[in-house]
């Protein structure tokens, strides 16, 4: 099974609209040079519309950093899947560890967000990952499995193809500490086994599982060489055109 590598940049709360447009143009050029890879960016919501205009017609994919479950309504501060699609987004990140740990989002809410995205044709990237305490207690597999099962609860198995999972150990995000390629592969293989139980084996074999946590140009190749690592979700290193290009071209 060949899965097209997906290199995804999460810009978090960085970049004004003008800065975002300039960076997105540079990333789009790189994406156009690599038809063998998919490249995605999740700019801040305030920059989505001008970025979409600037990269229209390129291979660069746009995503929301989060997504609400309703189309519209009294949900102050939220962005609906309809609005993301209207801004040119094809994907949405859900369950990022910053949403879970800073903003208190739980698995039930993340599941609603994921289904809201899918119902509106957005491909969700479900983020899962253990804390350092959970890893040291030997609970990584159990924690990650529970997050995958809860995050994907009630997803129609046939729609399973239309999603991406990102394994992002909390202790590796923004810390400069990367999981070893062996640790990443072990977690990814476990996630794929869980997906095979939830959906069918051939569907699980199609789902891309990204690694995230201090991915840099210097460590991307070794991580991507692992059998079940199908791309990267990149924070810090996606904020600079050159370093993100180094990961796109791992």
Taking the complex as a whole, the smallest distance from the CB of residue 56 to ligand PEP amounts, in Å, to 26
Out of 213, 229, 245, 250, the only residue in the binding site for ligand PEP (CB under 6 A) is: 213
Is residue 233 close enough to count as binding ligand PEP by CB under 6 A? yes
Out of 65, 111, 183, 214, the only residue in the binding site for ligand PEP (CB under 6 A) is: 214
Is residue 168 close enough to count as binding ligand PEP by CB under 6 A? yes
Residue 168 known to be catalytic? yes
Residue 14 known to be catalytic? no
Looking up tokens 């998919």 gives 38
Is residue 65 close enough to count as binding ligand PEP by CB under 6 A? no
Is residue 229 close enough to count as binding ligand PEP by CB under 6 A? no
Would you list the DSSP string of 173-193? Answer: TTSS-PPPHHHHHHHHHHHHH
Is residue 236 close enough to count as binding ligand PEP by CB under 6 A? yes
Which listed residue (98, 130, 168, 188) is catalytic?
Answer: 168
- The dihedrals phi and psi of 183, each to the nearest 5 degrees, come to -65, -40
Is residue 234 close enough to count as binding ligand PEP by CB under 6 A? yes
Is residue 24 close enough to count as binding ligand PEP by CB under 6 A? no
Question: For ligand PEP, what does the binding mask look like between residues 173 and 212, x meaning CB under 6 A?
Answer: xx-------------------------------------x
- How many residues belong to the site for ligand PEP (CB under 6 A)? 13
Q: Do 29 and 54 touch, CB atoms closer than 8 A? A: no
Is residue 215 close enough to count as binding ligand PEP by CB under 6 A? yes
Residue 109 CA neighbour count, 13 Å, CB half: 12
- The Cα–Cα gap between 10 and 173 comes to 12
**DSSP-derived secondary structure letter, 178:** P
Looking up tokens 């290009």 gives 245
Joined tokens for residue 112: 């609603």
Please state whether beta strands 38-42 and 164-167 pair in parallel, antiparallel, or not at all (unpaired): unpaired
Annotate 12-23 with b (16+ C-beta within 10 A) or e (fewer).
Answer: bebbebeebbeb
Annotate 125-142 with b (16+ C-beta within 10 A) or e (fewer).
Answer: bbbbbbbeebbeeeebbe
Which listed residue (30, 38, 96, 188) is catalytic?
Answer: 96
Is residue 66 close enough to count as binding ligand PEP by CB under 6 A? no
Return the residues of window 118-147 that contact ligand PEP according to CB under 6 A.
Answer: none
Contacts to ligand PEP by CB under 6 A: 10, 168, 173-174, 212-215, 233-237
């Amino acid at each position: 099974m060949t899965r097209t590598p997906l290199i995804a940049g999460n810009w978090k709360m960085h970049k004004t609209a003008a800065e975002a447009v300039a960076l997105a143009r540079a990333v789009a050029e790189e994406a156009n040079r690599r038809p063998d890879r998919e490249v995605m960016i999740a700019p801040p919501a305030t920059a989505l519309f001008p970025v979409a205009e600037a990269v229209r017609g390129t291979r660069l994919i746009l995503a929301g950093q989060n997504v609400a479950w309703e189309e519209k309504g009294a949900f102050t501060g939220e962005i609906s899947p309809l609005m993301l699609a209207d801004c040119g987004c094809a994907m949405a990140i859900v369950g990022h560890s910053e949403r879970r740990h800073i903003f208190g989002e739980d698995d039930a809410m993340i599941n609603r967000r994921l289904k809201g995205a899918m119902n509106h044709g957005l491909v969700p990237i479900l983020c899962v990952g253990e804390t350092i305490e959970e890893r040291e207690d030997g609970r990584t597999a159990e924690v990650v499995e529970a997050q995958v099962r809860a995050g994907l609860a009630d997803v129609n198995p046939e729609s399973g193809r239309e999603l991406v999972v990102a394994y992002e150990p909390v202790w590796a995000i923004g810390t400069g500490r990367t999981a070893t390629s062996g640790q990443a592969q072990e977690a990814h293989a476990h996630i794929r086994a869980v997906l095979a139980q939830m959906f069918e084996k051939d569907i699980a074999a199609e789902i891309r599982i990204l690694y995230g946590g201090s991915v840099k140009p210097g460590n991307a190749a070794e991580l991507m060489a692992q059998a079940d690592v199908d791309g990267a979700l990149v924070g810090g290193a996606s904020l600079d055109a050159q370093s993100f290009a180094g990961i796109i071209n791992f």
